[in-house]
Structure 1
């Protein structure tokens, strides 16, 4: 199919199909996933789509981790298999399944049960995973003294000790903290420069755009203001994505309760919720209603959008782009797995090929391999890099030597594997329409 034909498939007046979570908590306090398990007819589509199973022969794959494991638990007292911790939570299996088995829901539930009931809470692995899951806590501390924190984290001895003591791979470069957080910048500028009660969006910036890549949050604000939106920045916690991936469901629920309550206030006043990270929008849209029963959670799911998706639906973004231009530049674009799961994997390519001066090339549908915290574990580092090898190769053969993606951890992996500078689509969009 040609690019033009693919572009014609997008209808900006429609949204991604609403996600309908399976009811897996009927009346009992015990999580019962048999309704979803019974839909599986063992076609193995999920296994063939799994990036971990492709490079790790010891990993049994999504089919075992999901429906087969829950079938085993039905008949007898069977413990969750510890291989569940090797699932990266990329959620590609959800898209691959032809019979709508709630695989990621099963995996998240199984991880939570395994961590809660079988993991040694004093083990290095548990403490490391808990630290990675609660990155927001560490970032809030580091951002108070960003220059000192960046200096200490950049020392070679810090990397060595991190691997020996906590199991953080020394090969990874710890991301630097911004000298001014996004929320500090937003408050200093006096909030939104646009006042428009009829066009308001609530920005869910997430942890990384607040503490590290502040330029992404700034770009989001300026772009939406250019289209006449008043941008609100409500109180918020982590989306919970790293907690889901590490089985820390109690931590994730704690964060979700704050987010549902605070973002719900904005929704009640007519705003939609916008995320610049596709993993954050995925959490609010799908994982929250799958895993938690919190009042208002359905409203949050229904009113959450990825930033460019929202503009494509509600504004003539394509028309604006066709009338814009930027300095000549070429990009190697990678669609994150969590963008694919929301049907957003083609939007940056479709949009920016109409932008005068920009050249954008999709580097394929392979997973980057980092999967949030997955690639930040010493025992998973080699697997992470094997998964990412195809993407690295495609990037190096692309015309551009600047990468592009919506996911901050994919950006880390892209930079780590190629040395390329990585930009967010919102940064190019800002250059095109808001400068």
Structure 2
């Protein structure tokens, strides 16, 4: 049996609507097949906490093999997975088209889907996964919400830990007082008529985080695209469903995919590109949705029309050239390549974007931040998230740059907290939400 495959990795559609997908015995058999192959390979031992947990279960079992590990103990492995996709993308030699057909993240996703179907999703987890509902009301009372979620507010954070399972020590995202959509409507980006015409039209998919939390990313993107002669709009039909995917709520993710694809279809018909500023959301539109709804033509067309934000700006630079007028940045940049940026298989587009800024001094770090979306905020996971994130944070801190930035804003927020915990004499860098914010600054633009 050969090790590894010479062909490019592929992923198979998820058969989530079949009865076999939810059959306990068939799921257990597949878990044991995959885990046994993982046990004999062990290349993923240092990626996340899932694999050390799996290998410890096997090594400490009666036979030292998978046959004496109880199936009930598999949940410990499942609970540690953040669906970062790095085992599939960067480590596993047995991904399809190899005959072993290993797709560890989608196996974990299947386990969670079965668990959700059998037992339901806990109320607190379901509430946290409803990012649109949370964002809509939180922006209306952002002052109160941000006060209640401050780490220093020990009373409220203790209550949130008890009720929602959010670790009291985790730094939580703040909410904006006005959504990105509202800000863009009040201050629409004006295309620079002096800039070379790009013959491009782009819809910025606001995303939940970009619309309700850090609006500086979207406003910077709008400004940079307009400066470069690109006609831009902001649209947010609904959440991409990544928080619900993490919970195994595949039917609701499919519903979101249909809704968003239908909303974007008229823009695609008119020749607009769809640009997603958050890597996780770009990953959903480009890769996960077509695997969940492979027969849906609207979903397929949306996937083909979607660009990651950094990917899109670099594409403009390569094909038409960027507008002049950028000044050098004040200080260097330590850039973290997020897992979901890497999972798109587009290269280090964020680093390429930063390199377009004059005299850019960029240090690139390609290690997991450890945050894992809502996973890293939860009691029982937060300490693991801090541990996993230390190597990346230490490298970013030791780069000794003025700014630290990740294309994933949640990863950046978590990295900032890990750097704070590391301490040391090196001055803490300024965290920036996305490389596009630094490009907007180089153009002399202020972001909200």
Range into which the TM-score falls when normalised by the shorter chain: 0.7 to 0.9
Aligned to 1:25: 15
Q: Distance in 2 between matches of 1:292 and 1:20?
A: 16
Picking from 425, 428, 431, the partner of 1:422 is 431
Aligned to 2:80: 86
Cα pair 2:314 2:352 within 8 Å, conserved:
no
Give the 5 Å matches for 1:152-301: 152-154=148-150, 155-190=153-188, 193=191, 198-293=199-294, 294-301=296-303
Q: How far 1:360 moved relative to its partner?
A: 1.5
CA deviations over 1:384-430 (Å, ceiling 9, x no partner): 11101111211221121421111021011011112443211001111
Q: How many residues align?
A: 401
Cα pair 1:201 1:231 within 8 Å, conserved:
yes
Cα pair 1:368 1:410 within 8 Å, conserved:
yes
Q: How far 1:44 moved relative to its partner?
A: 3.0
Aligned to 1:127: 123
Q: How far 1:431 moved relative to its partner?
A: 2.1
CA deviations over 1:290-336 (Å, ceiling 9, x no partner): 12354411111111111121232244389649974324212211110
Q: Distance in 2 between matches of 1:179 and 1:410?
A: 22
Q: How far 1:287 moved relative to its partner?
A: 0.9
CA deviations over 1:147-195 (Å, ceiling 9, x no partner): 2222233332110111122211000233221122101011112466579
CA deviations over 1:357-405 (Å, ceiling 9, x no partner): 4321113x22100011111110111111110111121122112142111
- CA gap 1:138/1:23 in 2 versus in 1, 3 angstroms: closer
- CA gap 1:249/1:189 in 2 versus in 1, 3 angstroms: same
Q: Distance in 1 between matches of 2:198 and 2:394?
A: 48
Aligned to 1:304: 306
CA deviations over 1:114-162 (Å, ceiling 9, x no partner): 122145x5xxxx2222122123211211101222222233332110111
Picking from 32, 41, 46, the partner of 1:44 is 41
Q: Distance in 1 between matches of 2:324 and 2:308?
A: 21
Cα pair 1:181 1:210 within 8 Å, conserved:
yes
- CA gap 1:153/1:189 in 2 versus in 1, 3 angstroms: same
Normalised TM-score (structure 2): 0.79
Q: Distance in 1 between matches of 2:214 and 2:405?
A: 14
Structure 1: gaps spanning 5 or more residues: 1-16, 62-68, 70-77
- CA gap 1:296/1:194 in 2 versus in 1, 3 angstroms: farther
Q: How far 1:19 moved relative to its partner?
A: 8.5
Aligned to 2:137: 141
2:429 equivalent to 1:431: no
Q: Distance in 1 between matches of 2:419 and 2:351?
A: 21
Q: Distance in 2 between matches of 1:357 and 1:197?
A: 25
Aligned to 1:7: none
Q: Distance in 2 between matches of 1:431 and 1:221?
A: 13
Q: Distance in 2 between matches of 1:318 and 1:168?
A: 46
- CA gap 1:351/1:174 in 2 versus in 1, 3 angstroms: closer
Cα pair 2:203 2:234 within 8 Å, conserved:
yes
Q: How far 1:203 moved relative to its partner?
A: 1.0
Aligned to 1:377: 378
Moved more, 271-280 or 392-401: 392-401
CA deviations over 1:16-50 (Å, ceiling 9, x no partner): x9985414539955439999979x96563663463
CA deviations over 1:64-98 (Å, ceiling 9, x no partner): xxxxx9xxxxxxxx889423232111111211233
Q: Distance in 2 between matches of 1:142 and 1:354?
A: 36
The SS at the match of 1:326 is coil
Cα pair 1:321 1:352 within 8 Å, conserved:
no
- CA gap 1:199/1:401 in 2 versus in 1, 3 angstroms: closer
Give the root-mean-square deviation of aligned CA atoms.
3.6
Normalised TM-score (structure 1): 0.81
